[in-house]
Homo-oligomer: A and B are copies of this chain.
């Protein structure tokens, strides 16, 4: 229950919408969740929090580094609590499954490439798209 600290540390006042949204993001069920989906969950929970507020709070969390924003294919942004180390993503285009991975060699090469091109790297985005060969990979949504 130290979400309060989490918010304060980020320089954000503790308010109900921020708390609720933070809770939702922290639920392991909800890794890689869109703003719209956060909103839907709030509605289900009976909270009266506007969609605009959800976007606002997500942006604040992003600025504060509490979460990471991803642009998977398909237009909308997807948010993810940043509790772990840096990692990249594999996305199955059929079932939508998202797998996280980390590869030091790739990271290393990226730095090298940047340096070779006189660029100071601030961040990167790497998404691998494909089809997973799991039995339960089902076309959904």
Using a CB–CB distance below 8 Å, which chain A residues touch chain B? Answer: 71, 73, 90, 92-93, 99, 101, 103, 105-106, 109-110, 113-114, 116-134
Is the pair A113, B90 in contact by a Cβ cutoff of 8 Å? Answer: yes
20 contacts between A and B (CB under 8 A): A71-B71, A90-B113, A90-B114, A90-B119, A92-B119, A101-B113, A103-B109, A106-B106, A106-B110, A106-B113, A118-B132, A119-B130, A119-B132, A121-B129, A123-B129, A124-B127, A124-B128, A124-B129, A125-B126, A125-B129
Is the pair B128, A121 in contact by a Cβ cutoff of 8 Å? Answer: yes
Is the pair A117, B101 in contact by a Cβ cutoff of 8 Å? Answer: yes
A109–B68 alpha-carbon span in the complex (Å): 24
A71–B71 alpha-carbon span in the complex (Å): 8
A105 contact set on B, CB distance < 8 A: 105, 109
